[in-house]
Structure 1
Amino acid sequence: MNAGPQAPIVVEAESFSGQREDDVRQWHVIPAPDGAPAVADADQRKQAAEGASNGSYIRLLPDTRRTHGDKLIRGENFSPEAGKMAIISYSVHIETPGRYYVWVRAFSTGSEDNGIHVGIDGEWPEHGQRMQWCQGKNTWRWQCAQRTEKQHCGVPMEIYLDIETPGKKMIEFSMREDGFTMDQFLLTTDKNFRPE
């Protein structure tokens, strides 16, 4: 018997277990861990100072498409297909199967760093594609919305993963736009849950 929605599973973005398909774009922890080359510029340091959980986050670099005027290059600074570029993985234990809504806490500075894809165990379901942010520029903001042809800013609560069996799962994110900046993600079976 299911007693109702499970408590949300919250994961720090910098606690990834690995990344692949990263020869063109890579995820970087900011600020860089001790001994790693620093990749943070002044804007990135400002972001971390303004409320990233644990004072660190990840960013997809290099960021060459910052404005709509910058050239869009498929397979380099934009990836419309999920699971093709800059995949970052997280090992997560799922106790109860079900539909898990995926929320991500991201920092977007413009219109060209506000999209990502989410998948599970190497699969990229339709409802994990084109996760989108439009509001709350230059602030950390939670979102669970899917970009569609009719709703460019995303349809709320349409980003989810259907998990059929309990156990260890690999939750994965892949590039849609370079420059994407992520602090945390969470999984919840409660469609009415809203992160603070």
Structure 2
Amino acid sequence: MAGFAVVDCETTGLRATQERIIEVGVVLLDSSGAFQDEWSTLVNPLRPVTSQFIHGIYDDDVASAPTFTQILPGLTSLLETRAVVAHNVVFDVAFLNAEFERSSYPMTIPAQATVCTMELSKIYLPEGRHSLVSATERAGISLGGHHRALVDAWGAADLLRHYMLAESRGIRYAQQAKSRQGSVTKPAAWLPALQQAGALDWPVSLF
């Protein structure tokens, strides 16, 4: 098993079909949770940047950054055969898949190959809020900042490793988690995600 690609995307807004990615951070872990590599880049959305009050990224910051199409070869080489992990993974994967479609790139990250550290916080952390800041605080993890892609990817990566250790010690606060959309997350959800990701036939690059 190749392991995990823990991702975070900073965006111009909340709707993947209308807004764009302006920064991507990726932390690579092997299947046991050990660190392998990290990567991040700003992305030129080819439109004005908004939501600066959240991420602190401005038009001038991305003016000379590569477009999403230009980062595709490097990004997809990091994602291939790996389970994609994020805090609120539905959000990040929706943006990535929307950008793949805009770039006419034949890749879709399926939900079965993803891991959500936000949903897993309901199983492996004491009761409380489930934001990245709150979850890392309850796990005893120092986030070192917030709402920049690589920092948040590291927060999710450290949470995943915390959950893996808790599972190995038999520590659970619930036997499953249910999202607002009704989907159910079970303990050790990273294991089936790893298996699914390994079976995918993703192209590394079309360029």
Q: TM-score scaled by structure 1?
A: 0.32
TM-score (norm 2): 0.31
Return the structure number with greater strand share. Answer: 1
Compare relative contact order (CA 8 Å, sep 6+) and give the higher one, 1 or 2.
1
| Structure with more helix by fraction | 2
